[in-house]
Structure 1
Amino acid sequence: MLLAHPALLTDLIHEYEMLSALDADDGGPAAQRRLDDIGYSLCVATGTGDVDAALVAARHRLPGAGVHDDSVLTAHPHRTSRVRRHR
Protein backbone atom coordinates (compact mmCIF):
# COMPACT_ATOMS: atom_id res chain seq x y z
CA MET A 1 0.00 0.00 0.00
CA LEU A 2 1.24 3.45 -0.86
CA LEU A 3 1.47 5.83 2.08
CA ALA A 4 0.40 9.44 1.77
CA HIS A 5 2.98 12.09 2.58
CA PRO A 6 2.57 13.54 6.10
CA ALA A 7 2.17 17.05 4.66
CA LEU A 8 -0.85 15.90 2.64
CA LEU A 9 -2.37 14.19 5.67
CA THR A 10 -1.82 17.31 7.78
CA ASP A 11 -3.54 19.49 5.17
CA LEU A 12 -6.50 17.11 4.82
CA ILE A 13 -6.96 16.82 8.59
CA HIS A 14 -6.77 20.58 9.03
CA GLU A 15 -9.27 21.35 6.26
CA TYR A 16 -11.68 18.62 7.41
CA GLU A 17 -11.61 19.91 10.99
CA MET A 18 -12.09 23.53 9.86
CA LEU A 19 -15.10 22.66 7.70
CA SER A 20 -16.54 20.53 10.49
CA ALA A 21 -16.10 23.37 12.96
CA LEU A 22 -17.84 25.74 10.55
CA ASP A 23 -20.70 23.25 10.38
CA ALA A 24 -20.43 22.54 6.66
CA ASP A 25 -23.64 20.51 6.78
CA ASP A 26 -25.53 23.80 7.00
CA GLY A 27 -23.19 25.67 4.68
CA GLY A 28 -24.91 24.68 1.50
CA PRO A 29 -24.23 22.08 -1.15
CA ALA A 30 -20.75 23.36 -2.09
CA ALA A 31 -19.49 23.23 1.50
CA GLN A 32 -21.02 19.79 2.03
CA ARG A 33 -19.51 18.51 -1.21
CA ARG A 34 -16.06 19.77 -0.15
CA LEU A 35 -16.39 18.11 3.27
CA ASP A 36 -17.40 14.83 1.60
CA ASP A 37 -14.50 15.11 -0.87
CA ILE A 38 -11.98 15.65 1.91
CA GLY A 39 -13.44 12.76 3.88
CA TYR A 40 -13.16 10.54 0.82
CA SER A 41 -9.56 11.67 0.24
CA LEU A 42 -8.69 10.88 3.85
CA CYS A 43 -10.17 7.39 3.46
CA VAL A 44 -8.22 6.75 0.25
CA ALA A 45 -4.98 8.15 1.71
CA THR A 46 -5.22 5.96 4.79
CA GLY A 47 -6.82 2.82 3.34
CA THR A 48 -9.84 3.06 5.63
CA GLY A 49 -13.57 2.93 5.03
CA ASP A 50 -14.97 5.73 7.19
CA VAL A 51 -13.94 9.23 8.17
CA ASP A 52 -13.42 8.56 11.89
CA ALA A 53 -11.03 5.69 11.16
CA ALA A 54 -9.30 7.79 8.50
CA LEU A 55 -8.71 10.66 10.93
CA VAL A 56 -7.24 8.29 13.54
CA ALA A 57 -5.03 6.56 10.97
CA ALA A 58 -3.86 9.87 9.49
CA ARG A 59 -2.96 11.27 12.90
CA HIS A 60 -0.98 8.13 13.73
CA ARG A 61 1.07 8.54 10.55
CA LEU A 62 2.14 12.07 11.39
CA PRO A 63 5.63 12.70 12.76
CA GLY A 64 5.67 12.54 16.55
CA ALA A 65 2.54 10.42 16.84
CA GLY A 66 2.65 8.00 19.74
CA VAL A 67 2.68 4.39 18.59
CA HIS A 68 0.82 3.26 21.70
CA ASP A 69 -1.67 6.11 21.80
CA ASP A 70 -4.96 4.58 22.92
CA SER A 71 -7.00 7.76 23.01
CA VAL A 72 -10.59 7.58 21.89
CA LEU A 73 -12.28 10.11 19.67
CA THR A 74 -15.66 11.30 20.81
CA ALA A 75 -18.45 10.88 18.33
CA HIS A 76 -19.01 13.97 16.25
CA PRO A 77 -22.28 14.36 14.34
CA HIS A 78 -20.49 15.51 11.17
CA ARG A 79 -18.02 12.63 11.05
CA THR A 80 -20.34 9.74 10.56
CA SER A 81 -19.64 7.31 7.78
CA ARG A 82 -20.87 9.56 5.00
CA VAL A 83 -18.11 8.96 2.52
CA ARG A 84 -19.58 8.90 -0.93
CA ARG A 85 -17.86 6.99 -3.63
CA HIS A 86 -17.06 9.01 -6.72
CA ARG A 87 -18.91 7.86 -9.79
Structure 2
Amino acid sequence: MLLAHPAVLRELVARYESLCAAAQDHAIAPDLQRRLDDVTYTLCVTTGTRTLEHALAAARARLAATAAG
Protein backbone atom coordinates (compact mmCIF):
# COMPACT_ATOMS: atom_id res chain seq x y z
CA MET A 1 0.00 0.00 0.00
CA LEU A 2 1.25 3.47 -0.84
CA LEU A 3 1.71 5.79 2.11
CA ALA A 4 1.25 9.53 1.96
CA HIS A 5 4.27 11.64 2.75
CA PRO A 6 4.23 12.83 6.38
CA ALA A 7 4.29 16.48 5.26
CA VAL A 8 1.08 15.89 3.29
CA LEU A 9 -0.60 14.22 6.25
CA ARG A 10 0.55 16.97 8.59
CA GLU A 11 -0.87 19.63 6.28
CA LEU A 12 -4.20 17.81 5.88
CA VAL A 13 -4.64 17.34 9.64
CA ALA A 14 -3.75 20.98 10.26
CA ARG A 15 -6.18 22.13 7.57
CA TYR A 16 -8.95 19.98 9.04
CA GLU A 17 -8.32 21.31 12.55
CA SER A 18 -8.25 24.90 11.29
CA LEU A 19 -11.52 24.48 9.42
CA CYS A 20 -13.15 22.89 12.47
CA ALA A 21 -12.06 25.81 14.61
CA ALA A 22 -13.55 28.22 12.06
CA ALA A 23 -16.76 26.22 12.00
CA GLN A 24 -17.11 26.54 15.77
CA ASP A 25 -16.76 30.32 15.65
CA HIS A 26 -19.35 30.88 12.93
CA ALA A 27 -22.38 29.30 11.37
CA ILE A 28 -21.16 26.85 8.76
CA ALA A 29 -21.34 28.64 5.44
CA PRO A 30 -21.68 26.51 2.32
CA ASP A 31 -18.08 27.30 1.30
CA LEU A 32 -16.74 26.24 4.69
CA GLN A 33 -18.80 23.05 4.59
CA ARG A 34 -17.45 22.25 1.12
CA ARG A 35 -13.86 22.74 2.30
CA LEU A 36 -14.49 20.52 5.32
CA ASP A 37 -15.99 17.86 3.06
CA ASP A 38 -13.02 18.13 0.69
CA VAL A 39 -10.37 17.77 3.38
CA THR A 40 -12.30 14.91 4.99
CA TYR A 41 -12.46 13.07 1.67
CA THR A 42 -8.77 13.69 1.01
CA LEU A 43 -7.79 12.44 4.47
CA CYS A 44 -9.80 9.27 3.91
CA VAL A 45 -8.27 8.65 0.49
CA THR A 46 -4.69 9.31 1.60
CA THR A 47 -5.02 7.04 4.63
CA GLY A 48 -7.05 4.30 2.95
CA THR A 49 -9.92 4.64 5.40
CA ARG A 50 -13.64 5.27 5.09
CA THR A 51 -14.45 7.48 8.06
CA LEU A 52 -13.04 10.74 9.34
CA GLU A 53 -12.31 9.24 12.76
CA HIS A 54 -10.28 6.40 11.24
CA ALA A 55 -8.52 8.79 8.85
CA LEU A 56 -7.44 11.12 11.63
CA ALA A 57 -6.30 8.20 13.78
CA ALA A 58 -4.31 6.70 10.90
CA ALA A 59 -2.74 10.04 9.97
CA ARG A 60 -1.76 10.81 13.56
CA ALA A 61 -0.36 7.31 14.07
CA ARG A 62 1.75 7.62 10.91
CA LEU A 63 3.00 11.05 11.97
CA ALA A 64 3.88 9.74 15.44
CA ALA A 65 5.72 6.77 13.93
CA THR A 66 7.62 9.05 11.58
CA ALA A 67 8.60 11.38 14.42
CA ALA A 68 9.78 8.45 16.55
CA GLY A 69 11.75 6.81 13.77
TM-score range, shorter chain: 0.7 to 0.9
**Per-residue deviation, 1:26:** 2.3
1:2 maps to 2
**What TM-score, normalized by structure 2, do the two folds share?**
0.85
**What TM-score, normalized by structure 1, do the two folds share?**
0.69
**Per-residue deviation, 1:37:** 0.3
1:11 maps to 11
AA partner of residue 34 (structure 1): R
Whole-angstrom CA distance in 2 between matches of 1:10 and 1:43: 14
Give the structure, 1 or 2, with the largest relative contact order (CA under 8 Å, sep 6 or more). 2
Whole-angstrom CA distance in 1 between matches of 2:51 and 2:27: 21
Number of matched pairs: 65
What whole-Å deviation, never above 9, does each CA across 1:42-70 have from its counterpart, x for those lacking one?
000000000011000000111226xxxxx
How large is the Cα RMSD of the aligned pairs? 1.6
AA partner of residue 17 (structure 2): E
- Which moves more between the two structures, 16-25 or 44-53? 16-25
2:67 maps to 64
**Per-residue deviation, 1:21:** 1.2
**Are 1:49 and 2:50 matched, yes or no?**
yes
Specify which structure has the higher proportion of helix: 2
**Are 1:35 and 2:36 matched, yes or no?**
yes
> What percent of counterpart residues are identical?
54
